[in-house]
A and B are shown apart, each in its own frame.
Chain A
Amino acid sequence: EDQVTQSPEALRLQEGESSSLNCSYTVSGLRGLFWYRQDPGKGPEFLFTLYSAGEEKEKERLKATLTKKESFLHITAPKPEDSATYLCAVQAAGNKLTFGGGTRVLVKP
């Protein structure tokens, strides 16, 4: 069965303090790995798709990378508005996504 583990569970950062979130996965036949952002009381919002090891995607202060066993979401010089829960998900067979438990990020000014 597909498994996704995210670490740390929570991260407190000072504004401008760069850090990385980890997503480890076990899946038979990865078709794609996805990062989402979720604000409190809202549905997840799509950020990135990664398909193969070595691939990187960037959006503003966020950069996602992928290896054969894990993905990282790097947050460079974060701002308070980057505070959210970041979710990682994998897709193997079928149309379902298997999500990790998320990393709650709090960026203090």
Chain B
Amino acid sequence: DTGVSQNPRHKITKRGQNVTFRCDPISEHNRLYWYRQTLGQGPEFLTYFQNEAQLEKSRLLSDRFSAERPKGSFSTLEIQRTEQGDSAMYLCASSQRANTGELFFGEGSRLTVL
């Protein structure tokens, strides 16, 4: 399968712990996005990479969140000192073209913070 791959699919953690999610985009896509989606809501933009450069970051993204994309391939999203409000589905998407809204999403990583 050559789609966007996300791991782990599910993560349950205790408040205060750190968690990391990984995203492997479609191989020829050099643009990568992270979104967060809570139950009954649409996805909310977190951050955008073009190759290894993080070019956009939501103002809503607290300092506890950090994303990287070393070498412009896979990406990681780390949440430090998790809070119950961080419970959500974290979606990764990739695209090949610039300035496009045609994104290819992965199946997401669901985080539950107890």
Binding site for B on A (CB under 8 A): 4, 6, 31-34, 41-46, 49, 87, 89, 91, 94-102
Contacts and interface: CB of A to CB of B under 8 A. Distances in A.
B21 interface: no
Interface string B92-104: 0100000111111
Contacts of A46: 102-104
B53 to A, nearest CB: 12
A42 B55 CA distance: 27
Interface in B5-20: none
Which of A31, A43, A99 has most B Cβ within 10 Å?
A43
B74 interface: no
A62 to B, nearest CB: 16
A41 B37 CA distance: 11
Given A49-B102, A87-B43, A97-B103, A43 B4 contact: yes
Contact of B105 (A45, A49, A102): A45
Interface of B: 4, 31, 33, 40-45, 48, 55-56, 58, 91, 93, 99-108
Nearest to A97: B101
A91 B42 contact: no
24 contacts: A32-B100, A33-B101, A34-B101, A41-B107, A42-B108, A43-B108, A44-B43, A44-B91, A44-B105, A46-B103, A46-B104, A49-B100, A49-B102, A95-B31, A95-B33, A95-B56, A95-B99, A96-B33, A96-B58, A97-B43, A100-B42, A101-B40, A102-B40, A102-B41
B55 A89 contact: no
A84 to B, nearest CB: 13
Contacts of A96: 33, 45, 48, 56, 58
A100 B40 CA distance: 10
